[in-house]
Amino acid sequence: AQSVTQPDIHITVSEGASLELRCNYSYGATPYLFWYVQSPGQGLQLLLKYFSGDTLVQGIKGFEAEFKRSQSSFNLRKPSVHWSDAAEYFCAVGAINFGNEKLTFGTGTRLTIIP
């Protein structure tokens, strides 16, 4: 069965600093990978996804993620964070089992931005 690990429960960074959120997955086949963000009072918003092709994926709000098959990782990065990036971030792997499609999420990483 597939699984996702987000080792950092909470990260604090200064505004303007760079950011990297870690995500490791376990899945037997080629994974479909996603990053979602949940801002306070909001639903889950898709930041970016990887299905195939270029392993560096660009998303919305200036985020990018790199798929590394050898490390089973899909880390999320942003070169310079803004106060509005404070939110909870979820990595997910999409799996197809007997024609059924569903997402398996990590436990999330809460990001705090300090001035």
Partner 1 sequence: EAGVTQFPSHSVIEKGQTVTLRCDPISGHDNLYWYRRVMGKEIKFLLHFVKESKQDESGMPNNRFLAERTGGTYSTLKVQPAELEDSGVYFCASSQVGFEAFFGQGTRLTVV
Q: Which residues bind partner 1 (CB under 8 A)?
A: 4, 32, 34, 36, 41-46, 49, 90, 92, 94, 96, 99-108
Based on the number of CB atoms within 10 Å of its own CB, is 13 exposed (0-12), middle (13-18) or buried (19 or more)? middle
Cα dist from 31 to 23, 39, 68, 75, whole Å: 13, 26, 11, 14
Specify the residue, 3 or 80, whose C-beta has the smaller distance to partner 1. Answer: 3
Toward partner 1, which CB reaches closer, 21 or 108? 108
- Site of tokens 């009072």: 41
Pairwise CA distance, residues 80 & 102, whole Å: 32
Closest approach, Cβ 5 to partner 1, in A, equals 10
H or E stretch including 77? strand 73-78
- Kindly tell me which of 46 and 56 has the beta carbon lying closer to partner 1: 46
Closest CB 25 distance from partner 1, rounded Å: 12
Closest CB 106 distance from partner 1, rounded Å: 6
CB-nearer residue toward partner 1: 8 or 15: 8
Q: Please state the closest distance from residue 98 (CB atom) to partner 1, in A.
A: 9
